[in-house]
Structure 1
Amino acid sequence: FSAVAVNLNKVGFNFTTDQLFLLTALPSLSGAILRVPYSFMVPIFGGRYWTVLSTIILVVPCIWLGIAIQNPATPFWVFITIALLCGFAGANFASSMGNISFFFPKAKQGSALGINGGLGNLGVSVMQMIAPAAIFLPIFAFLGIHGVPQEDGSLLALSNAALVWVPLLVIATFAAWVGMNDIASSKASIREQLPVLKRPHMWLLSLLYLATFGSFIGFSAGFAMLAKTQFPDVNILKLAFFGPFIGALARSFGGIISDRLGGVRV
């Protein structure tokens, strides 16, 4: 959403800097809150069915955002709603990590979770690479989306930043349906899962995760918008992907090292 927020005023909107920062922050906020219920879903519904459902519903905010951007009269509350719905994508990360842990023994879970988490984080970087390129291409010209003329003569089709993910989400949903499996031993009701809340280590690790992954998500989402306000003449979207890219690689490497040295030491 950060790639969209940075450019909204270039396509006819007149939002304040505070409003744009709010839109940038809301997907991470709703995603953080939704991760709690999402983490319980895989043992209830199964990894395959939950992945299919939680992936296909992401088409809704993508299409809605693509439509909303085309009308400069779209009220701010609509973008707030869409931004909150985009948080479902972030919540998917919790169920993904929970699902993959069932497929590997504890001795290899560091590598498995690290690679899965690294690829998940890589999505932030990929988005910040693809979106800036997609918004200047006539990808959806056949739908009548040609873009808004800019001062340099280019056409800014900001809707592309949202719509470009729709076919990819459909493909991912189909791949999950035909390629994933459920493990019967992973089934558990909410009542059976709740005792984890009584474990002090869970809360301690949650605080640690807040400082580590929380800062990663916050900085990744806010960097482009912050840099744009401080350096308006710099096309920061060309560089915004670099930080999340390094973070994604480090996470995968950290998981592998954890299997060798132990998670506490790492």
Structure 2
Amino acid sequence: MSSATDERRTGGEWLADWDPEDAQHWDKALAWRTLSITTVGLMLAFCTWFLASALAPVLGNLGFTITKDQLYWLTAMPGLAGGTLRLIWMWLPPIMGTRKLVSLTTLLLVIPLIGWAVAVQNPSTSYSTFMILAFLSGIGGGAFSGFMPSTSYFFPRRLQGTALGLQAGLGNFGVSVVQFVTPWIVGFSLLGVLGAAQTFHNPATNVNKDVWYQNAAYIYVPFVVIVAILAWTMLKSVPVRANFRQQLDIFKNVDTWWMTALYVMTFGTFAGLSAQFGLLIKNLYGAGNPDIVATAADGSTTVLVAGYAVPLALTYAFIGPLVGAGARVLFSPLTDRWGGARWTLVSGIGIAASIVYTMQYVQPDVAAGAEALTAQFHSFLFGFIAIFFFTGIGNASTFKQMPMIFERRQAGGVIGWTSAIAAYGPFLFGVGLATLSVSGFLTVLLVFVLACVALTWVRYARPGAPKPS
């Protein structure tokens, strides 16, 4: 890696004569060990980043007084923080090295996790406190822009689509993990010392039950500590070195900006929908929609779409992110085989078509009755899952394109930069849904996606394209 090694660093942490393109100077076992540890760390980071999206829809049921718009802002804040922190983390791989970066970043996740665990136990916790915790959760989002470039240093270009796709895809599973595990883990006390139970009120049945929502955060703490220790003791660092000014040259390349747009289309949409999906289910087809909730004479409430009210909104919220993350993993080897650009084109067309389909079901026809409303919900769910699926394909393909378009030192910086901007997806989706109707926001998203489809075809995918990738 002579072109990227401006200054040699020595010591037990730093590798010497490391060049993944030369089999004699590449340790395959170390590369895959690095991928394994950093991927588990990234999954825990995503669990932390999206913890607010799993907790926000139920805060009202726990006795907290928070409005619908405040909930959208609460789930948007980790996106604002994650994107901003990625703008910092993207510069750190060549400065700190993989070992220190992964170890210390993983350990930082303990702060928001313990903070959330304490906050949800006290109904008097202020909204501003929750917003601060949501911002700190963004540390998990910032990690991506440090972990992914670090991993790219360890693999030859022919394997980077697979390696980066596996890391990002399996890391993205953290979104599904936190949304799937939360409804289950809060149902019983893990250890008495972790705090007392809270009272959960279900408006659909007018029944109260004991829950332990601190478990949703505490459950990850021991795993975070273990991964931090493994990273510190088992990882090495590639002696890639670039100072701040040297890294700025990525912004002189127009493809940095085009690939940023494409990754916003794919990962920005994935992350934005992941953060808001539970709230969308609740507010459109669940107890958050007053037109769907019926109040009886005795004051009890029922939801016309049987079985789909809160808290079951969270039960279905994990499916979309799971499908998107799975698509990223499955399609990553295909991008190595057939190139990334054509799959990015497929991704964009698929997202656009899925948005058009889904827009038909974001205004439930309550007058149609419970049976028809349930059918509408199934179509609504299918449409959003399709969007998630096609974003997963694009998340894999864009990460194949970037190492092919840019030289190795630049590729790491571009991956970090595009990841940082796309991480604002949850924030943009939260603000958009708080200020526009759901159909209005999806219309804006559709126009952007169609523009990205045209860009992909003209710049990267058509025969004779300037930058085939």
What TM-score does the superposition give when structure 2 sets the normalisation length?
Answer: 0.55
Is 1:173 the counterpart of 2:259? The answer is no
Match of 1:132 in 2: 183
Question: Whole-Å Cα distance in 2 between the matches of residues 195 and 144 of structure 1?
Answer: 51
Match of 1:94 in 2: 145
Where 1:103 maps in the other structure, the secondary structure is coil
Deviations 1:187-215 (A, max 9, x none): 32222211112111111100111111000
Match of 1:116 in 2: 167
How many Å apart are 1:143 and its aligned residue? 2.9
Match of 2:250 in 1: 196
Is 1:219 the counterpart of 2:270? The answer is no
Where 2:189 maps in the other structure, the secondary structure is coil
Q: Report if aligned partners of 2:199, 2:208 keep a CA contact under 8 Å in 1.
A: no
Partner amino acid for 1:161?
A
Is 1:245 the counterpart of 2:322? The answer is yes
Question: Whole-Å Cα distance in 2 between the matches of residues 176 and 81 of structure 1?
Answer: 28
Partner amino acid for 1:62?
L
Partner amino acid for 1:211?
M
How many residues were matched structurally? 265
Match of 1:142 in 2: 193
**Structure 1 pair 179–250 and aligned structure 2 pair: CA distance change class (3 A):** same
Partner amino acid for 1:91?
G
How many Å apart are 1:39 and its aligned residue? 1.1
Partner amino acid for 1:94?
S
Residues 228-239 of structure 1 aligned to structure 2 (within 5 Å): 228-230=282-284, 231-232=286-287, 233=303, 234=308, 235-239=312-316
Instruction: Report the identity percentage.
Output: 38
| Structure 2 alignment gaps of length 5 or more | 1-51, 288-302, 344-469
Partner amino acid for 1:167?
P
Partner amino acid for 1:208?
L
Partner amino acid for 2:325?
A
**Structure 1 pair 149–217 and aligned structure 2 pair: CA distance change class (3 A):** closer
- Structure having the higher helix fraction is 1
Q: Report if aligned partners of 2:175, 2:321 keep a CA contact under 8 Å in 1.
A: yes
Where 1:61 maps in the other structure, the secondary structure is helix
Where 1:70 maps in the other structure, the secondary structure is coil
Question: Whole-Å Cα distance in 1 between the matches of residues 256 and 134 of structure 2?
Answer: 29
1:72 equivalent among 97, 107, 123: 123
Q: Report if aligned partners of 2:161, 2:335 keep a CA contact under 8 Å in 1.
A: yes
Deviations 1:123-177 (A, max 9, x none): 1011111111111121132333223254545312122212222112111111211
Where 2:196 maps in the other structure, the secondary structure is coil
Question: Whole-Å Cα distance in 2 between the matches of residues 237 and 152 of structure 1?
Answer: 18
Question: Whole-Å Cα distance in 2 between the matches of residues 138 and 254 of structure 1?
Answer: 40
Match of 1:35 in 2: 86
Deviations 1:77-116 (A, max 9, x none): 1111110110110111111111110011111100111111
Is 1:56 the counterpart of 2:107? The answer is yes
Partner amino acid for 1:183?
V
Match of 2:31 in 1: none
Q: Report if aligned partners of 1:11, 1:158 keep a CA contact under 8 Å in 2.
A: no
**Structure 1 pair 149–141 and aligned structure 2 pair: CA distance change class (3 A):** farther
Match of 1:262 in 2: 339
Question: Whole-Å Cα distance in 2 between the matches of residues 105 and 93 of structure 1?
Answer: 20
Where 1:14 maps in the other structure, the secondary structure is coil
Match of 1:83 in 2: 134
| Structure 1 alignment gaps of length 5 or more | none
Question: Whole-Å Cα distance in 1 between the matches of residues 198 and 149 of structure 2?
Answer: 41
**Structure 1 pair 4–39 and aligned structure 2 pair: CA distance change class (3 A):** same
What TM-score does the superposition give when structure 1 sets the normalisation length?
Answer: 0.95
Q: Report if aligned partners of 1:228, 1:236 keep a CA contact under 8 Å in 2.
A: yes
Q: Report if aligned partners of 2:94, 2:242 keep a CA contact under 8 Å in 1.
A: yes
Question: Whole-Å Cα distance in 1 between the matches of residues 192 and 62 of structure 2?
Answer: 16
Larger of the two Rg values belongs to structure: 2
Q: Report if aligned partners of 2:61, 2:200 keep a CA contact under 8 Å in 1.
A: no
How many Å apart are 1:181 and its aligned residue? 1.3
Which one scores higher on RCO, CA 8 angstroms, separation ≥ 6? 1
Partner amino acid for 2:237?
D
